[in-house]
Structure 1
């Protein structure tokens, strides 16, 4: 393996160059990982704020950085529910949790287990069988079925242990896995902690860290099980993530190339049944059994050949041992005899035909790129994205994803603060502050994104309370509102301007709006909103340039989030926008998605239309008629030309009310009708139309 012909070394180096060009470089891999680790941290912080029992983990190729644009990898989310406790020893039983005893016996497939329900009041087997998703076996044990969490996520399709959710435009498909935490490492996995391969890999530090991570059970049974609905698979995904995050760039490229090769398999993809996880396992076994010095750029092709030989052996023997739980055969029941024959034949052809098959790979234009690198064809014969364009795509997409995650988790926090009193809000803000003061680096980074939105909401709620009492904004409210101003280029400042407008302080409000408009003129903010499904966002060249040149903190200076007011902030909301808080009739409520449409009880508006609407109202108070008409023209133009408005119906409702103020009822009615075309139900336009027509009839 280690005596390389010159052509193999040359091919390895050229192949490494190709991977660098398609985004599998040290920098890009690290950036991808950063994006998802930051998103994972935001998930867990927001759940801590509301005392949720869930911890989330972002796993798989996207979060590992072991993917390319062409592979179109899914995002894997594992949600651990800490209300449950899976034990192996009676001493691990915990009061106040739903405890299960892990059972592994002659009836369970290696790497899988049954879960026996225990009593909630003391560490003894339960004898009262729940109504659903449990059965009593021949021994009298109450076992929980792995169908327990089916249908848990709206819109998801059950797929093995996961609920697969199709991606919204611009987002990856996501596999959501509900996992139950094990109190300790399962005995079937603990032997790995003492195992060491050639060159002492995995290292002692890696194994020590792995031992500190949780293991889980996830709801799926083996394909060869006699009891497929009763088995739960033991998952060591956090330990596996540790191993992948410690691979060098050649090992990562070898893994990615394995996945590309199998995705290029010239047979129906649903027949080959070789998953990314199997590729990962084959790679880890190869790394464990070779010297570290073999895994270098000029040896990439030989390393790949070694992995293919290992994969071929697995297919031939119908056995691929789980890296950490070796008794678990990942290939058990995966292949028909015909598929096994075709797959074995395909892998042999790859090995025997040497480099030729590489030149025919279409994914990421890998074959064409390699031909150019090897001077098989001149530059210009093929067109494909440059390495700069791909890096730009990855970085820009990553920054937009982070911004959307901030919007998603801000919405989640607001949902849980809605209908809460000021004291509860203050407690949540205090919890958030602990991540600034005592959090690790990722938690502190996540804090910088989440905190301004939470501060602004808390400050606005305080202001609403004091405005309701004496039409004044309390000093404490102003402190929190000021602390949240750097959320993005507009939304928090617009809320502060709205607060001043609500108290009649037009000069301060106008000054803030002027500053926001100047920001828009110099750096047009990309609109960010996760309230609803919307078209894929197209960003400007300037946005891409900033993403490539600056750190993630630049997100605050190039994005414009939607403005959200919960009902606790109602006194800070212009009365024209307050109607949005009461958009739904009882009949409308039937047509709402309770899991996603809760924001309809708030007043939510895109930043840019709200900016021009507030200007229109303020200039009216200041008797600046020309400026008022200019603001109205800008509002109209924004609604007509900006295809990325997320709450267009709300913007049209505001414009309609401006038209009513202008004594142009026909145009106001047109605005409301256009609004209803955007959303027929759960739309305040229905109320505005009734009010407008009633007024016209009364006047007649």
Structure 2
């Protein structure tokens, strides 16, 4: 039974919406949701209703279906852990490059309020720390671009103006500096919110993996937004922050936590405002994310179902009417005025009906106050006279359908699963979809680590060995950052393991020319710090060092260890270089990801990133792979984008490179049977492994092995197949020319 607190009507105006046998009475905008109560039809509205038996049964079946599609406690927590780690990796990669900014992730992915079918993107806020948004002159900081937040009667609720202050003294700027500033009638120099319009994502993240924001196959889309940080909450939120809520949600402790978080201002003005170009929207995303982290699983399922209903019945016809953020706001309002024990598995349908009816009243009154900044009406001017009646009619249809409208939801096959469940069948194989989600989350996480590590290496790819070593040591110096949280330290270790391996490889490459025993010993100690990155990649770099120094015994020993640890049924290749289609992830990989709660430590057992050599590592890179560093002509260069810096390196997938090194090592050792087995394994891997990111490079290596076997015809075939995959920027063009030249001269 859902109970609501006792309260008094401040107005006699209210609307009444009937769903099933339950009425919901709501005041219109002058007292939103403060006056709600449930009553049974025909009874006095002061008496609470009993939920009908069909609602109990439907709720239990809906809960079962939502659990089956991955909206359960385990997957929600996995989403949050991995996306928080991803957030830390994003920020850290910026800081390691010397960029003064943090990246924060908000929205459904990190909240755990999405499904595979909803395909939610990640909302990334880039906080530019060189700005300092203040509300009091005492907060002014020397050397920062200080901006004074202005909130007066001329500014829309939930928005502010930013007055530019001097950098050298806590005084107002008095002279307009460029087109991004504006002098108002009071003589204040204001910053326009269009200042970032000319900065596209590629330019914005010129020192980062901006390409993944475009939605690489198998990787979530990221939507980056520039924002300016403010350490204190605006005056408009003071009422919410100071309210006393003993025994209610959110608790006083939760509000206190929110009070200590930061907020942002985003360059978006109120639509239709006279100051639209000058207003900045105040974002309380941190507090909102924290509140969502404190929902129980029924509340999360209710929100997910609201979004599915919204997309099924309203968004397609009226795309700019009701947003998912409005649904979230309605949900939080409903939770705040109900008892927490009312939100249970057997009341899911009743809670959903309550939220939908509340949403109906919001639309009818065109009033939905922001939960924290209550003066900000999210629905102001949102509906046209033509669309509003149709939206209300649609919502009424869903509310009064007694759950039948749920059978029209196609997302994640909710309609089929719910129908099967209502008919008494098990709708989904236990854990099938949750394991799929867990595998996808872990793969995305490994992709991000690989991507950011590679972009750090791309910053030193054309430096001299001494400068590259200095740059890497600068990256690693952030290890002593005292502001690191536990999750920051974990992210740091995951990224820098690749960098330690590269540092050791560069030192070893120098040692091959200088024959310095101490340098070589130090190089091996650095490389040992990166051996646990994944199953193979950094171990293969160490094996390459031994191979290039002629130490065949140790090369064979490491390769044997890698092959024993590389479980072909579980290990997933990871490549962040190319936009290529990701085929089905291994079932065992998914299952291991689902069963483990230590996602960051699991990477070293079930992922294998591609192996990367930059030019100052060239002496530790086998000759056959060195050609990949010089794969392009001047004409080929025109077919490259900014995100193709990896083409200046030698990059190869771990598994085919493992077999290639085995082939070369066994060839030196004169072990013909093992050599032929390795050669067959290269060909088999190229043929059967679906998720190779550098199949063209693997074919080039196989072609050179065929040349070594004097099998010219198959060598040509390998190079031709490689060119079918990548016509330009492919060293196969070089190999074919060399092979033709050899044949002519012979």
Same fold (TM over 0.5): yes
Contact 1:223 1:332 in 2 (8 A): no
| Alignment gaps of 5+ in structure 2 | 1-37, 39-47, 205-209
Q: Which residue of structure 2 lines up, in the alignment, with residue 232 of structure 1?
A: 280
In the alignment, is residue 543 of structure 1 matched against residue 586 of structure 2? no
Superposed counterparts of 1:318-357, under 5 Å: 318-357=366-405
Equivalent of 1:386 in 417, 429, 441: 429
Q: Which residue is equivalent to 2:450?
A: 407
Q: 1:319-339: per-residue Cα shift (whole Å, max 9, x none)?
A: 111111111111122111121
Distance 1:163 1:504 in 2: 39
CA offset at residue 239 of structure 1?
A: 0.6
Partner residue in 1 for 2:127: 80
Q: Which moved more, 1:317-326 or 1:126-135?
A: 126-135
Which ranges in structure 1 are unaligned for 5 or more consecutive residues? 157-161
Conservation of the 8 A alpha-carbon contact between 1:164 and 1:176: no
Q: 2:153, 2:484 → 1: CA distance? A: 46
The answer to whether the 8 A contact 1:566-1:601 is kept is yes
Equivalences for residues 256-295 of structure 1 within 5 A: 256-265=304-313, 268-271=316-319, 273-295=321-343
Q: 1:42 to 1:366 in 2, by over 3 A?
A: same
Equivalent residue for 1:101, pick from 144, 148, 151: 148
The reply to whether residue 203 of structure 1 matches residue 251 of structure 2 is yes
Tell me if structure 1 keeps the 8 A contact 2:544–2:555.
yes
Q: 1:194 aligns with which of 239, 242, 246?
A: 242
**1:336–1:492 distance in 2 versus 1, CA, 3 Å:** same
Deviation of the 1:153 alpha carbon: 1.0
Corresponding position of 1:454: 499
Further displaced range: 251-260 or 502-511: 251-260
Cα deviation, residue 315, structure 1: 0.6
Task: Please say if 1:303 is aligned against 2:375.
Answer: no
Question: 1:393-451 deviations in whole A, cap 9, x for unaligned?
Answer: 1111111111112112211322345434323323433433768xx95442344345334
Answer whether contact 1:45 1:432 (CA < 8 A) is retained.
no
Residue of structure 1 equivalent to 2:441: 398
Q: Is the 8 A contact 1:92 1:183 kept in 2?
A: no
Match for residue 564 of structure 2 among 511, 515, 518? 518
Q: Distance in 2 between matches of 1:667 and 1:361?
A: 53
Rounded Cα–Cα distance in structure 2 between residues aligned with 1:624 and 1:117 = 74
Taking the aligned partners of 1:516 and 1:173, their CA distance within structure 2 comes to 33
Q: 1:681 aligns with which of 728, 740, 746?
A: 728
Other-structure match for 1:600 = 647
Q: Is the 8 A contact 1:359 1:367 kept in 2?
A: yes
Alignment check: 8 A CA contact 2:269 2:276 kept = yes
* Mean CA deviation greater in 460-469 or 193-202: 193-202
The C-alpha deviation readout for 1:74-93, integer Å capped at 9, x for no partner, is 22111211122222223323
* Contact map agreement 2:202 2:211 (CA 8 A) in 1: no
Residues 110 and 648 of structure 1: CA distance in aligned 2, closer, same or farther (over 3 Å): same
How big is the shift at 1:528? 0.3
CA-CA distance at 1:353 after TM superposition: 3.2
CA distance in 1, matches of 2:508, 2:212: 42
**1:187-238 deviation digits (Å, cap 9, x = unpaired):** 1223221124573322122111111111101122222322433322110000
Secondary structure of the 1:114 match is strand
CA distance in 1, matches of 2:74, 2:351: 22
Tell me how far apart the structure 2 counterparts of residues 299 and 666 of structure 1 sit (CA, whole Å): 70
Match of 1:51 in 2: 98
Q: 1:278 to 1:647 in 2, by over 3 A?
A: same
| Corresponding residue for residue 515 of structure 2 | 470
CA deviation string 1:524-567 (max 9, x = no partner): 52110111211113222322232233332333211111001122
Q: Distance in 1 between matches of 2:99 and 2:163?
A: 25
1:527 matched residue in structure 2: 573
Residues 350-365 of structure 1: pairs in structure 2 closer than 5 A? 350-365=398-413
Distance (whole Å) between structure 2 residues aligned to residue 164 and residue 694 of structure 1: 41
Secondary structure of the 2:475 match is helix
628 and 163 in structure 1: CA distance in 2 versus 1, 3 angstrom threshold: closer
Q: Is 1:629 aligned to residue 629 of structure 2?
A: no
Provide the residue aligned with 2:488 in structure 1: 443
How many residue pairs get aligned? The number is 686
**Hey, what's the Cα distance between the residues in 1 that align with 2:743 and 2:182?**
67
Output aligned runs, 1:494-513, within 5 Å. Answer: 494-513=540-559
Distance (Å, rounded) in 2 between the aligned partners of 1:149 and 1:190: 29
1:3 aligns with 2:49: yes
Quick one: which of 246, 249, 253 aligns to 2:301?
253
Distance 1:692 1:130 in 2: 63
- For residue 265 of structure 1, give the secondary structure of its aligned residue in structure 2: helix
Q: Measured at CA, do residues 317 and 482 of structure 1 come closer, stay the same or move farther in structure 2, by a change above 3 Å?
A: same
Give CA-to-partner distance per residue, 1:36-60, whole Å, 9 cap, x none: 1121122233333333212111211
Q: TM-score, normalised by structure 2?
A: 0.86
Between 95-104 and 331-340, the greater mean CA deviation after superposition: 95-104
Once the two structures are TM-superposed, the CA of residue 670 in structure 1 deviates from its matched residue by: 4.0
Of 414-423 and 498-507, the range deviating more from structure 2: 414-423
1: distance between equivalents of 2:649 and 2:449? 18
Distance (Å, rounded) in 2 between the aligned partners of 1:50 and 1:271: 39
Report the alpha carbon displacement of residue 687 of structure 1 after superposing the two structures with TM: 3.3
Q: Tell me, in whole angstroms, the C-alpha distance in 1 between the residues paired with 2:430 and 2:269.
A: 43
Q: Deviations over 1:134-156 (max 9, x none)?
A: 44444454433333333521399
Structure 1 pair 166/409, CA: closer, same or farther in 2 (3 Å)?
A: closer
The farther-off stretch of 568-577 and 363-372 is: 363-372
Whether contact under 8 Å (2:659, 2:679) holds in the other structure is yes
Q: 1:625 to 1:368 in 2, by over 3 A?
A: closer
Q: Secondary structure at the match of 2:494?
A: helix
CA pair 115-688 structure 1, distance change in 2 beyond 3 A: farther
Cα–Cα, structure 1 residues 522 and 684, in superposed 2: closer, same or farther, change >3 Å? closer
Is structure 2 residue 528 aligned with structure 1 residue 485? no
Q: Distance in 2 between matches of 1:432 and 1:507?
A: 35
Where in structure 2 are the equivalents of 1:309-320 lying within 5 Å? 309-320=357-368
Measured after TM superposition, the shift of residue 242 of structure 1 is 0.7
SS in 2 for 1:410: helix
> Could you tell me which of 398, 413, 417 is aligned with 1:369?
417
